[in-house]
Amino acid sequence: MPLRGLPDRPGANAVSEPAPAGDGPLVRLGRDDVCIIVVTFNSRHCIDRIAPVLAEFRHVIVVDNASEDDTRECVRAALPNAELIASPVNLGFGAANNLALNRTRTRYALLMNPDCLPTAACIDTLLEAADRFPEAAMLAPQLQRDADALEISYRWPSSLWRSRGPGADGPCCVGFVSGAAMLLNHRIMQEVGFFDEDFFLYYEDEDLCLRTFRAHKAIIVVPSARLIHLSRSSSRGGAPLRVEYLRGFHHAQSKILFATKHHGPRQARALRTRTLALAWLSLIPRLMLPSPRHLSRLLGRIAGLHRIHS
């Protein structure tokens, strides 16, 4: 089925083939040219699924954000080839990735959530595309919810124009790709800057993509690289309602932070007022037809918005 969300702009359906790079021999990227970076938090249930593929790669870094389960022990047992960075505190998604990115010495870094189901073929396809488009700052696969359902994982920056039309059928320049899986050209992204660590969770990928887009660096989606993403299943633990509360809390805070940074304090205050009003109005039906998971997330959103000082 077609994927809604592709930029409907002239010439947006594909990127042109790069020109030959002189008369010298072509340098082909291999698996030793990429470091796979995974950030975990109470992700023990994900490790056995991703370990067989990650074991095929020489450079792997796992940053554990102070998990309360046995994620670290599972990583040590299942991924002896990986460098494990065991943070004593939860740094947040962006800061944990930055910690690994600053230690990376390979030409590319593949950031991947632990709730993805990677295949070596998907990663190899991304590397082949990076080899074809060496000036791209960022490349990303087409995410899928399962074997059949595509996820809207790329678009133009929503603050500039609305994305419309079918999904890409070849490599395509876009303005946003999901942080669930992105292949970074390390040299170019050092120029742009890595994640803004003011974002603890959520919107850090949108901020990174917008800064890359504004720096006139190419972001390319590679639809032939397919990756299943089991969204919102990377963290568990013994308190699932607390996890939902914190998701709502951090999403609300990051949403307003993004608006403040990129649209100014005035628009951010207006957005906060609207979002808070809608959240309070949503509370009544949530209490009448309770869903503990959705109610916890809504209460977290309300708390996050009230904690913002503007």
303 pLDDT higher than 80: yes
- Ordered by where they begin, the domains of the chain are 31-229 (3.90.550.10), 240-306 (no CATH)
pLDDT at 85: 98
Q: Rounded to an integer, what distance in angstroms lies between the CA atom of residue 121 and that of residue 140?
A: 14
Q: Rounded to an integer, what distance in angstroms lies between the CA atom of residue 276 and that of residue 269?
A: 10
Q: Which element (helix H / strand E) includes 298?
A: helix 292-306
- Give the pair of three-digit tokens for residue 113: 């959530």
- pLDDT-derived band at 18 (thresholds 50, 70, 90) equals very low
Which residue would you say has higher pLDDT here, 3 or 218?
Answer: 218
284 pLDDT higher than 80: yes
3 state SS of 266: helix
13 pLDDT higher than 80: no
Q: Rounded to an integer, what distance in angstroms lies between the CA atom of residue 137 and that of residue 194?
A: 11
Q: Rounded to an integer, what distance in angstroms lies between the CA atom of residue 310 and that of residue 302?
A: 15
pLDDT at 273: 97
Q: Rounded to an integer, what distance in angstroms lies between the CA atom of residue 91 and that of residue 238?
A: 20
Q: Which element (helix H / strand E) includes 174?
A: strand 172-174
Q: Which distant-in-sequence residues (6+ apart) come within 8 Å of 48 by Cβ?
A: 74, 78
Encoded amino acid at 164, one letter: R
Which residue would you say has higher pLDDT here, 212 or 9?
Answer: 212
136 pLDDT higher than 60: yes
Q: Which distant-in-sequence residues (6+ apart) come within 8 Å of 23 by Cβ?
A: none
- Mean of the pLDDT values across residues 84-113? 98
Rounded to 10 deg, the angle between the 71-78 and 44-54 helix axes is: 20
Which residue would you say has higher pLDDT here, 16 or 206?
Answer: 206
